[in-house]
Amino acid sequence: MGFRRLAVALTALYACSPPVAGGRADAAQVSAPVASASAPAGHAAGPRVITVVGTNDLHGRVAALPLLAGYVSRLRATRAKDGGVLLVDAGDMFQGTLESNLAEGLPIVKAYGAMGYGAVTIGNHEFDFGPAGPDATPRSPDQDPRGALKAAAKAAPFPFLAANVIDESTKKPVDWPNVKPSTMVDVAGVKIGLIGITTQETLETTISANVKGLSIMPLAKAVGAEASRLRQAGAEVVVVLSHAGGKCKTFTGDIAADQCEDKSEAFELARALPPGAIDVIVAGHSHAGVAHEVAGVAIIEQFSNGRAFGRVDLTIADGRVAQKKIFAPRDLCPGTEKADPATCDPGQYEGGPIERDAQVATTIAPAIESAKEKRASLIGPDLPEGMKRDYHDESALGNLFADLVREARPGADIGLMNGGGLRADLPKGPLSYGSLFEAFPFDNRLAVAELTGKELRELVRTHLKKDGGILSFSGVTVSTSCKDGSLEVSIERAGKKRKVADDEKVVIVGSDFLFTGGDGFWGELKPPHVEILDELMRDALERGLKQRKSIAPSSVFDPKKPRLKLVGRRPIQCKG
């Protein structure tokens, strides 16, 4: 059975299985505001402590969930006498592994239900699966470009939140089954309003076919409106699940000393809202760590790929937040770099040992088993040193994939690979399909276009003047200089020492994500005619890798002779 047909079968299997009730959840959905809430049985009257546990950017790492659930169980035991635990996710849950992608995210939904999540927000990569079934983008008018996402939301025992994803036909937030702008939950008698938002970059960081007809409302406008409504409905606490994050290098609580990105989306959102509108932001998208207070709002973000969780303890007294305690991100496997969460020793937490959750392990077992054989199958080449990626700068993995893309289209002059498509390094040793999949999990198809040399230089110039993921090139070298305040770009054909002339025609090949406008690829250029091929980019990568026996990083990237000879780091700014 082929990969995509297997995916369809497994998706149907998960969709037909009964939903998992969130029986261990501390958060109960509230359908109507309650004027007052007494302390629940077993809790002392008076101040209550609500522990907000945040996750984000899991990207399909199901193997981390039994251990994460063990930590949550310890926290629930800690809060048993004085409050409760709210478990929420800030988006990008599904895309990234065979275990999740084969069933279009449904294994994550099942596991989150078993763990008792109160709500999740929709991130940009939640749109990646496109229609339910084998096609990653619509191939016919009757296919719903958000079919897989809607199926995942419908299967969940908790709501999906999307306050700023706007349906252009109604000019209102999307109205899909079990998807809403916000919700109210009750945790230990405390009414907590939850709002979900996604980054302003969503439409550029998602393949255009799957977000057609949608727009993104500014974050503060969406949050402000929902927070006001929730407060009027009786919310004592308001938490924003924000797939728009921040980045800090350390976690002392001092924004300057911790080298936080002060202009990040999450920080600017906190500052843009009226004082007291919200209490906590559980952030994501930037794959970084945050544990800071900004404009009176506690902001946490906890890296990515199931590495860690975030925590804020809120003391509630007299119907308001009296105290906040923010914790640094807690690695599931502390002190061990790139540890396996299925086998590592997590040590003690909150005065007791962490035990992996057997129910969650049982829930994810079918997904792990279904992917086991395909994950372990060997593609062919040996990687004696592995292959490193780099989001911002030229890398061996980016150059290798650009080479493979160019080879996949005979007659192509230039192969392109975007840095955002590189999701994991390739490990040392014989290359398995599972490792290739995690390095490039997207079901993008190959795409081809023709440009003039002048248009190509303008395209490259625009890219180099922006931040974001680096473009890797095959078939050419790019040199830059600053002249009279302008960025000059020169492009030579690799190995021929000949510049590409202004009127020369060049054929470029890359992903349909890029060539249909993802990452603002075309800039100010009028997009040319684009031919989208009927081949997944990952299949082309696999085919090219099978033709190689051994690959060393030095064979595709020499730092002393780079393919990108840049006058400075992007975004390049030339001073007059």
Phi, psi of 375 (to 5 degrees): -60, -40
> Is 571 within the bounds of a domain?
no
Q: pLDDT grade, residue 260 (50/70/90)?
A: very high
Which pLDDT belongs to residue 160?
98
Tens digits of per-residue pLDDT, 134-189?
999 999 999 999 999 999 999 999 999 999 999 999 999 999 999 999 999 999 99
> Is 185 within the bounds of a domain?
yes
Residues 331 and 425 in one domain: no
Which pLDDT belongs to residue 336?
80
Phi, psi of 346 (to 5 degrees): -80, -10
Residues 158 and 195 in one domain: yes
User: From edge to edge, which strands make up the β-sheet containing 445-452?
Assistant: 471-474, 414-418, 505-511, 445-452, 530-536
Give the CATH number for residue 442: 3.90.780.10
Q: pLDDT grade, residue 197 (50/70/90)?
A: very high
Q: Which residues pair with 53 in a beta bridge?
A: 87, 311
Could you give the 3-state DSSP secondary structure of residue 9?
A: helix
Q: How buried is 21 (Cβ within 10 angstroms: 0-12 exposed, 13-18 middle, 19+ buried)?
A: exposed
Residues 332 and 411 in one domain: no
What gap in Å lies between CA 445 and CA 442, rounded to an integer?
9
**48-55 and 308-317 as β-strands: parallel, antiparallel, unpaired?**
antiparallel
Residues 28 and 114 in one domain: yes
- Domain of residue 519, residue span: 378-565
Residues 234 and 252 in one domain: yes
Q: Which residues pair with 310 in a beta bridge?
A: 54
> Is 126 within the bounds of a domain?
yes
Which pLDDT belongs to residue 3?
52
> Is 570 within the bounds of a domain?
no
Q: Which of 368, 401, 428 is the last residue of a domain?
A: 368
Residues 384 and 364 in one domain: no
> Is 576 within the bounds of a domain?
no
What gap in Å lies between CA 452 and CA 280, rounded to an integer?
50
> Is 244 within the bounds of a domain?
yes
Which pLDDT belongs to residue 44?
46
Q: Which of 310, 334, 368 is the last residue of a domain?
A: 368
Q: Which residues pair with 290 in a beta bridge?
A: 301
Residues 79 and 173 in one domain: yes
pLDDT over 80 (residue 513): yes
Which pLDDT belongs to residue 26?
80
List, in order, residues 6 or more apart from 303 with CB less than 8 Å away. Answer: 57, 287, 288, 289, 329
Going by the DSSP 8-state scheme, the letter that residue 404 receives in this structure is: H
Residues 458 and 532 in one domain: yes
Tens digits of per-residue pLDDT, 461-493?
999 999 999 999 999 999 999 999 999 999 999
What is the residue type of 480? Answer: T
What gap in Å lies between CA 364 and CA 60, rounded to an integer?
11
Q: Which residues pair with 197 in a beta bridge?
A: 242
Tens digits of per-residue pLDDT, 90-137?
999 999 999 999 999 999 999 999 999 999 999 999 999 999 999 999
Question: What is the percentage of the chain residues whose pLDDT exceeds 70?
Answer: 93
Phi, psi of 312 (to 5 degrees): -135, 125
Which pLDDT belongs to residue 337?
73
Task: Confirm if 480 and 567 have CB atoms less than 8 A apart.
Answer: yes
> Is 574 within the bounds of a domain?
no
Q: Which two tokens stand for residue 201?
A: 């970059």
Going by the DSSP 8-state scheme, the letter that residue 261 receives in this structure is: -
Residues 22 and 130 in one domain: yes
Task: Confirm if 447 and 515 have CB atoms less than 8 A apart.
Answer: yes
What gap in Å lies between CA 369 and CA 176, rounded to an integer?
32
Domains contained in the chain, number: 2
Evaluated on CA atoms 239, 242, 248, 250, the torsion sign reads positive
Q: Which two tokens stand for residue 466?
A: 């922006």
pLDDT over 50 (residue 345): yes
What gap in Å lies between CA 155 and CA 538, rounded to an integer?
29
Q: What is the average pLDDT across 67-78? A: 98
Evaluated on CA atoms 329, 335, 341, 346, the torsion sign reads negative
The angle, 0 to 180 degrees and rounded to 10, between the axes of the packed helices 106-115 and 358-376 is 160
Could you give the 3-state DSSP secondary structure of residue 369?
A: helix
Q: How buried is 337 (Cβ within 10 angstroms: 0-12 exposed, 13-18 middle, 19+ buried)?
A: exposed
Residues 336 and 397 in one domain: no
List, in order, residues 6 or more apart from 293 with CB less than 8 Å away. Answer: 253, 299, 324, 326
Give the CATH number for residue 348: 3.60.21.10
Q: Which two tokens stand for residue 108?
A: 């994550």
Residues 336 and 194 in one domain: yes
What gap in Å lies between CA 401 and CA 382, rounded to an integer?
16
Q: What is the average pLDDT across 47-57? A: 98
What gap in Å lies between CA 8 and CA 151, rounded to an integer?
13
Q: Which of 305, 339, 368 is the last residue of a domain?
A: 368
Query: What is the average pLDDT value for the chain, to the nearest integer?
Result: 93
CB neighbours of residue 262 within 10 Å: 13
Smallest CA-to-CA distance from 459 within 390, 526, 537 is with 526
Distance of alpha carbon 278 from its chain centroid, rounded?
A: 24
Q: Which two tokens stand for residue 125?
A: 């990569």
Q: Which two tokens stand for residue 237?
A: 């606490």
**190-198 and 165-167 as β-strands: parallel, antiparallel, unpaired?**
unpaired
Q: pLDDT grade, residue 230 (50/70/90)?
A: very high
> Is 56 within the bounds of a domain?
yes
Residues 332 and 282 in one domain: yes
What gap in Å lies between CA 548 and CA 551, rounded to an integer?
7
What is the residue type of 173? Answer: P
**In whole angstroms, how far apart are CA 281 and each of 52, 185, 224, 276, 297?**
10, 16, 13, 13, 7
Which pLDDT belongs to residue 28?
78
pLDDT over 50 (residue 361): yes
CB neighbours of residue 15 within 10 Å: 15
Smallest CA-to-CA distance from 195 within 153, 229, 227 is with 227
Mark 213-225 as b/e (b = at least 16 C-beta within 10 Å).
ebebbebbebbbb
pLDDT over 80 (residue 406): yes
What is the phi-psi region of residue 455: left when phi exceeds 0, alpha when psi lies from -120 to 50, beta otherwise?
alpha
Q: How buried is 5 (Cβ within 10 angstroms: 0-12 exposed, 13-18 middle, 19+ buried)?
A: exposed
CB neighbours of residue 140 within 10 Å: 7
Evaluated on CA atoms 293, 297, 298, 304, the torsion sign reads negative
